[in-house]
Amino acid sequence: MAYHPDENRYRSMEYRRCGNSGLKLPAVSLGLWHNFGDATLVENSRALLQRAFDLGITHFDLANNYGPPPGSAERNFGRILQEDFLPWRDELIISTKAGYTMWDGPYGDWGSRKYLIASLDQSLKRMGLEYVDIFYHHRPDPETPLRETMKALDHVVRQGKALYVGLSNYPADLAGQAIAILEDLGTPCLIHQPKYSMFERQPEEGLLALLREKGVGSIAFSPLAGGQLTDRYLNGIPADSRAASGSRFLSPGQITAETLEKVRQLNALAAKRGQKLSQMALAWVLRHDDVTSVLIGASKTAQLEDAAGMLANRRFTAAECAEIDAILNNDRSR
């Protein structure tokens, strides 16, 4: 049966302006890092994408190496795009990235002009697109001159292969330099994608203030700390969880007694707010006007529904913020 999106999809989602640009992003975006590679049934991926769009989630975030194997998330997304979403392409924001290892040899990694332009060409072919809405440099390259990397981003915009460009995983000082170069080249940096959650607060140490000053948006990845900021691990490590599988992104060693105690206290506060812990954690990231969107992963449509449902209660009182800080700082005196 042909897919027809929900006619009410734009009524409940919040759309936030991305920095000083003309672009708005949904408060919740869907990342295709996991659950869209060849190890996942394509029908499950299709159901996630359809439900996301029905909820007003218009932004789908990929990278060249997402899978597994690398490239398969873009290829599978491209198939579903062509079969289900093509009539609504202009209602979607599709982003991809390059910067991590993608192919063998010296030209398939980091940030050279050679790698970035070739990688975007490959990504467009896999997805069956003429352009992406946002193209990111995925991580800083310690050896390639920063201006070369930024000129490659400027070039793909001038080619019409990307509408906007962004940075990911750049520390504040280097991000400031990159933003200045892009401004000088005439292709402003649209957005920065940092890792940010209750358990990862480094962006507060200068990066968010820099982005606000420069008029650059931001989208937080891993806002649930790999699943730690959910009710998933409240009673131990489930056998089918990411931590139990020995994932390099969340190991059993990270689920410490101290972490679990913080999670339990946060969960209790979320319950008082009438939310799930995952919803409160997403709302907490979005408490900053500097954060344009939270980027979530999902393996079930219910997770998307929970994330979108967070918007009904995403404000915090000063007392709640103080209580969260006390929990995170392990303040026993509160």
pLDDT tier at 333, thresholds 50, 70, 90 = very low
Q: Total domain count for the chain?
A: 1
Which CATH number does the domain housing residue 114 bear?
Answer: 3.20.20.100
- Is position 244 within any domain? no
Query: 138: how many CB neighbours lie within 10 A of its CB?
Result: 24
- Both tokens of 298, joined, read 């999902």
- Is position 26 within any domain? yes
Instruction: Output the pLDDT for position 239.
Output: 59
Domain that holds residue 45: 15-231+276-314
Q: How far apart are the first and last CA of the chain?
A: 56
- Is position 3 within any domain? no
- Is position 327 within any domain? no
Greater confidence (79 vs 257) lies with: 79
Instruction: Output the pLDDT for position 332.
Output: 46
- Is position 49 within any domain? yes
Instruction: Output the pLDDT for position 330.
Output: 81
- Is position 324 within any domain? no
- Both tokens of 137, joined, read 């440099």
Instruction: Output the pLDDT for position 245.
Output: 53
Arithmetic mean of pLDDT, 263-292: 97
- Is position 6 within any domain? no
- Is position 326 within any domain? no
